[in-house]
Amino acid sequence: MSVLVTGSIGIDTVTTPLGKSENCLGGSAVYFAMAASFFSPVRFVGVVGADCPFDLAKVFSGRDVDLSGLEIRGGSKTFRWKGSYQGDMSQAMTDAMELNVLSERPPIVPEHFRDSEYVFLANTHPTLQIQLLEQLRLPKFVVADTMNCWIDGQAEELKRLLQRINALILNDGEAKMLTKCDNLAAAAQELIKMGPKVVIIKKGSHGSISLDSEGHWIVVGGYPTVHLKDPTGAGDAFAGALMGYLASADRTDIKSLKTAIAYGTVTASLVIEGFSLSSVASISKAVIDKRFNELKEITGF
């Protein structure tokens, strides 16, 4: 079973205590697709401007990523993000952002993608996420991501989106911001009331907690990563591996979700060991499986 992703493709400049990467490939859809491709075929929907310096066909060469939904829009500029990290690199600071093509109409979902059953609406404006969702026929499991700027400036539109999805992934700060709850367990319960059947709250190096509408909790610890270099894209890689696994299993029960979260955790732990996609572009699925088994042994889940 394939998984469809729609989200940003960006030109990033990232500064961390361990270095700087200028004008590198970024964007939520890119990190997601790379991670998901280890588990299932990926249908990629996104848009860049004519100035995009990256050849995504080469980036995903050898991987089952269908780029039929990639639009190169003449006269527009590609999304750009400049960010930095300090200290333990637990929080990204946005130093500059140019929405560019992301402030325009969303890309068109190709006709042969519209039967997709597993769908990830990567972080972008919630209105665009809804518009993209409306192009699909009968998706089985729709997951969305969001971020603080949408929670702060587009809260009502975001809440409208939450009524139409199956699961929401967000980090601990965003969960507290959206629900106004300082306690993460209480925040998860409030988010379930807003519509999604499953809520997954990421806690960075401390793993994640998840709650479903039937009251089942999942707590998965973080993988102990020593060589942290750049956290950018870790959350999208987490979601990619999670959704890729669920699509490959074609199941979303609590046991499958627990396994999927663990795969997301270890895949994210690999992404953060290099700038952009450098640490995951050439690894094999066996590397992910090795970390999965190590996490399983460490946590005893």
pLDDT, tens digit, for every residue of 201-255? 999 889 999 999 999 999 999 999 988 999 999 999 999 999 999 999 999 999 9
Per CATH, the homologous superfamily of domain 3-84+93-299 is: Ribokinase (3.40.1190.20)
Which residues of the chain have a pLDDT value below 70?
301
Instruction: Please tell me the predicted confidence (pLDDT) of residue 85.
Output: 92
Domain ranges for the chain? 3-84+93-299
In order, the DSSP letters of 63-130 are S-EEEEEEEEETT---EEEEEE--TT--S-EEEEEE-GGGGSPPPPPPGGGTT-SEEEE-SS-HHHHH
- Predicted confidence at residue 301, as pLDDT, reads 52
